[in-house]
Amino acid sequence: MEERLHVKIEGTVQGVFFREKTKEKAIELGLTGWIKNNPDGSVEAVFEGEEKNLRKMLAFCQEGPPDAVVDTVEEEWEDNTGEFYTFDIEF
């Protein structure tokens, strides 16, 4: 069953390749959606795909790439919209 996961990640998550590594992981897991930096220093992302892969993506976001320090991850599970065809970094 496909679902949608919306997350906001806070901590040292900008300038540490968080978006790039997350995109690589999302593509590896077959997820679609987007990720972006927010002006407040957080990173926000929406993922759509199989629940088991979304849970793996959530675990990745809670850890982050090697130079990241993740303090909190807010997660919101929603209905899949099917609006995405790829996973992109938004600017």
Laid out side by side, the sheet with 43-50 consists of 69-79, 2-12, 43-50, 32-37, 87-89
Select which of 4, 19, 53, 80 is catalytic: 19
CA atoms of 22 and 65, how far apart (whole Å): 8
Select which of 37, 38, 53, 80 is catalytic: 37
37 assigned to active site: yes
Q: What is the dihedral of CA 42, 48, 51, 55, to 10 degrees?
A: -20
Q: Would strands 69-79 and 2-12 be described as parallel, antiparallel, or unpaired?
A: antiparallel
19 assigned to active site: yes
* Catalytic center residues: 19, 37
